[in-house]
Chain A
Amino acid sequence: MRRADAIDEKTASASPGNSVIPPIPLPQPTDASRPFWESCHRHELRIQHCLQCGAFIHYPKIHCPMDGSDRFDWPIMSGKGYVYSFVVVLRAFHAGFKLQVPYVVAIIQLEEGVRMISNVVGIDPDKVYVGMRVEVEFDDVSADISLPKFHPYLQGGQ
């Protein structure tokens, strides 16, 4: 399995037109995370929320790590936040991302306080900075999966 999608970078760069780009790795939703991915599919960013203690929980968990409760709702988020940290990926280790380099992998902190890994899109990677305000958009990467990504957000309107 590992061999099948290993990168042969020399071959790929020598004949970029011939190489087949494999699909990117897609999430396999679990019982705990299914509501998250289903809401993303509807282009809504919803985060697991403990009905007992009120904590927002991300990434989704089976029980609330604060109090062990398994009673949750999934409130919709503002979709706004800022870049807590970021890197610019210049070389794809997974061949599925070969056409995307250079791309930005960032830790996004949402206004509601939770953090997640995502991409900052719609901007030159060299212009991204820690603290940059961003807003969610959704990338339909398969029939079932839409990934929440983030673009720069200017306060007071786009």
Chain B
Amino acid sequence: MRRKAAITGIGETSFSKDSGMSDKALQLQAVERAIADAGLARDEIDGLIPSPHGSGFTVEGFAENLGLRDLRFSVTIHFGGANGCTAIHAAAMAIAAGAARHVVVVAGRNGYSGSSKISARPQLQPGNFEVTREFESPFGATVPMHFYALIARRHMHEYGTTTRQMGSVAVAMREHALKNEKALMKKPITIDDHEHSSEIVRPFRLLDCCIESDGAAAYIVSAAETARDRPNRPAWIIGCAEGHPDSPTSVATRQDLLRSGVTIAASRALTMADMAPSDLRAGYLYDPFTFMVIAQLENIGICKAGEGGPFVESGGIRLDGRFPVNTHGGLHSQAHSMAGINHITEAVKQLRGTAGQAQLLTPSPLVVTGTGDFGDGAVAVLAND
């Protein structure tokens, strides 16, 4: 699959707390912008991977509303926040197999103003969380934060990771957001702000949690032979994989809490790319909670186990650090309602050299991750040549 496909188009709506549009309208707008960005006609799209979050279109609804006359490939992924990145792998596979030439991937919803606001949900929904609902919710373990905090506490116990180290992730994300015109969070924060923000689930405070927003984002994966004909520089997919921990539906019964789907996927994606973690120049790491950045630095191998905390504390993930992470501000400070596709669109901007004030001098190759449902993971390695 290596270099058989590239991301050739990206599209984003504005990110807000009150879009005034339906989930479907947001998704359509992002898709149309991505198609235009790729310089394609609508009916050249022959593959589609929507995300089931919110009240968006089904595959059929998209085909009808986009006027797709010959949709040849579609699949829907159900890995929560990992959907956006898992779709890079699924789209690249479909293209490598000859099943499609231009696959559009989209996610988006009114995650702040609409009914899919996660923090307003008293407990996890059925479907992927049947086990949680039967065996864990009765004990008051009802929301994602409870489970990620359990993983974080174990990491603190094993390695001495501190809440201040988690706080330095929040501060770095905010610093990056201040340079990103689309980011929702505009006010600088300090470690002290983090340490004084309200405790919600000890060890997590308010500023350990990502924001929620309205908005959608989309990208187009095209076959290698067509990628160079597009108006923008292609972001080549040189490694991609999905991965799942043992007992994917239950954090508690997982043998090793710190071995996530990203751990497994990263190793596979880097093997495909024929690279070592030290070859990677930047990371777009799915960041529902600050701790998840520390965890994934270790999962990918940017840091050794237990060294993620000191690495972020010493500024390693800042724009001028050894491994800049989430130069757009991430889920923490840019936007969160599109299954991590805003990480992918920002990664593509970096590889094109259009990331504005946060543009890195040497962004290529970089790594994108998605994590969802407390363990599902996806990893993609992208490069601009």
Contacts and interface: CB of A to CB of B under 8 A. Distances in A.
A85 B153 contact: yes
A10 to B, nearest CB: 13
A94 B122 contact: yes
Nearest to A90: B199
A25 interface: yes
A87 B139 CA distance: 12
Interface string B33-60: 0000000000000000000000000000
A94 B142 contact: yes
B181 to A, nearest CB: 33
Interface in A86-133: 86-97, 100, 103, 105-107, 114-119, 130-131
Given A90-B200, A93-B123, A105 B115 contact: no
A130 B253 contact: no
B122 A84 contact: no
A33 B134 contact: yes
A105 B253 contact: no
**Interface of B: prevailing SS:** mixed
Q: How large is the interface on A (under 10, 10 to 19, 20 to 34, 35 or more residues)?
A: 35 or more
Contacts of A90: 199-202
Contacts of B200: 90-91
A117 B202 contact: no
B150 A85 contact: yes
A20 interface: no
Chain A interface helix/strand/loop/mixed: loop
B141 interface: yes
Contacts of A103: 140
B167 to A, nearest CB: 17
Contacts of B253: 58-59, 114-116
A30 interface: yes
Given A2-B115, A89-B146, A117-B252, A105 B141 contact: yes
B90 interface: no
Nearest to A108: B252
A132 B253 CA distance: 18
Nearest to B121: A2
Contacts of A24: 138, 140
Nearest to B140: A97
A7 interface: yes
A26 interface: yes
26 contacts: A2-B115, A6-B121, A27-B138, A30-B134, A33-B134, A59-B134, A59-B135, A85-B153, A87-B146, A87-B153, A90-B202, A93-B121, A93-B143, A94-B140, A94-B142, A94-B143, A95-B122, A97-B140, A97-B142, A105-B139, A105-B140, A107-B150, A107-B257, A119-B140, A130-B157, A147-B139
Given A90-B200, A107-B252, A149-B139, 5 more contacts: A59-B253, A85-B157, A85-B257, A90-B201, A93-B121
